[in-house]
Structure 1
């Protein structure tokens, strides 16, 4: 809570006119996720941050596999930091009270920072969470998903990148946001309380993709079968399982950045 004292009566009237009726979160600015990740990637790394967020956003940060609120935000944030819930801050602690409760979380960056390509990881997690409650086998059969991956694969092959070649400094412009609602998902912002599943454009579904059998599709599904991920769902996978599956794709020459 912030208490400000204005000595000039004329300014008091102006402040009342401008801000009467406003509450915390009333502007619903999409800043929580960008702020969190800006902190996580800040150098030099901080030791610990204690931050108050809208309750649902905070609960997504600390959600575990299988939890209703477990999402891309949970997976990405927990890769780079240990996050713990400290306390709930009810509406009644504010004047005037907001429409939602708040929560305070503690964020501690992992040291050392995970050694992986952030763009690769983000692209991979975005694809896994296209429809988080669908099986990965269903997701990676989707025509749009396969098309993006195959285009990426062919581009890397044309650049002469072998399976063992690092792509840390290669940016070929793979845009997984095209698979869904980029306005909501680009920043992984959950302040609006909506789910972060990405709906596919043009009505593509599993049935559409099934009719297009290709060598590349078999390659992708072969990776899932090898790791026994075909019937698993992103909403249930642990951090280690995501990392293992990404490593299997990379060994097969399939990348997501």
Structure 2
């Protein structure tokens, strides 16, 4: 008696060599990796873009190249063909194994060194050039780590999110000009190399990308300024980049308290006496305290009403009537007195800052309009008054 015929389940293995394989089996065959986009795994698949990135680095046969995030090695193999050695720093062990396997059994195997770990926490050995399809999450830390090295790389060719790249290259007055722009351009020369569309990656990211070249300043061009000092001052200036300098420096309790603490340390290190006595006023409190009322400082300065950055230039008459009424109402509101006693030291700090802003002619200027020379003059004047940062 013959066997009864049973229906074959969908997706089961083919019973004959002439049967076509199922679609799911084909999909499983092509799905080698499940990319983790949470750590920026977007593999560059366009060979033309990879060739252009390596070409823009102007590699020498004696160069040691650091590559951050090599992925599957599409850029790595091109670097190995032109450089003496490649140090690949990879977070994902699967990708580290893939790039190692890609050059295994070839002459390039001896030229590749793989560092497994977080690029920001890993101590890099000496290298000459950095090339990276940078994970977007570590863009800013990686840039500052490269610039703060005792011997920074000769050049860095880095791919970033388009907006981040535009911030790096922004100039005073641009909408994207910020603390990052000033810091990077102060210590390095930054230029935009090319745009890279999202279709050049697998899986494609949600944003466009750009490649930039960063060349640290060396020799006489290298600034002899402490990064902690310079960046500490910029943090205050760009806390609200559309505020005038007076509102940024004197319109916040936190800023004045921080400066006072730093000044105490400076006086202690230089044996300078401090007068902590309380000023005898009518109310016994600081009548000109740095209270902010709906985004304005105590004297009504500033350009932010109700928490909104109005960013209105002088002479503009197209301000909505609602904001004009809100500003008039804020100016007529009585100031809330502070409960903190006004000491002579706090009074001295305010007078020092006002003096510096007047002398540098930056009192009514906005941070987004200042260039690095303005910030250098401001830092020198503050240091001369014993006000330090970092």
Normalising by the residue count of structure 2, what TM-score does the alignment of the two structures yield? 0.48
Q: 1:133 Cα shift?
A: 0.6
Which residue in 2 is equivalent to 1:152? 262
Q: 1:86 Cα shift?
A: 0.9
Matches within 5 A, 1:181-196: none
Change (3 A) 1:49 1:20: closer
Worse-matched range after superposition: 106-115 or 40-49: 40-49
Q: 1:14 Cα shift?
A: 6.9
Distance 1:206 1:121 in 2: 25
Distance 1:229 1:223 in 2: 9
Alignment match of 1:235 (pick from 346, 368, 381): 368
Q: 1:45 Cα shift?
A: 2.7
Which residue in 1 is equivalent to 2:181? 74
Are 1:254 and 2:387 counterparts? yes
Which residue in 1 is equivalent to 2:93? none
Which residue in 2 is equivalent to 1:19? 35
Are 1:206 and 2:206 counterparts? no
Which residue in 2 is equivalent to 1:45? 152
Q: 1:158 Cα shift?
A: 1.4
Distance 1:21 1:252 in 2: 49
Distance 1:145 1:51 in 2: 35
For the aligned residue pairs, the C-alpha RMSD in angstroms reads: 3.3
Are 1:143 and 2:253 counterparts? yes
Q: Secondary structure at the match of 2:205?
A: coil
Change (3 A) 1:100 1:157: same
| Highest RCO, 1 vs 2 (Cα 8 Å, sep ≥ 6) | 1
Higher helix proportion, which one?
1
Gap runs ≥5 in structure 2: 1-25, 44-134, 273-290, 299-334
Are 1:55 and 2:162 counterparts? yes
Q: 1:122 Cα shift?
A: 1.2
Alignment match of 2:230 (pick from 121, 133, 138): 121
Worse-matched range after superposition: 243-252 or 90-99: 90-99
Distance 2:185 2:216 in 1: 9
Q: Is the 8 A contact 2:263 2:386 kept in 1?
A: yes
Q: 1:204 Cα shift?
A: 8.1
Q: Secondary structure at the match of 2:202?
A: coil
Larger radius of gyration: 2
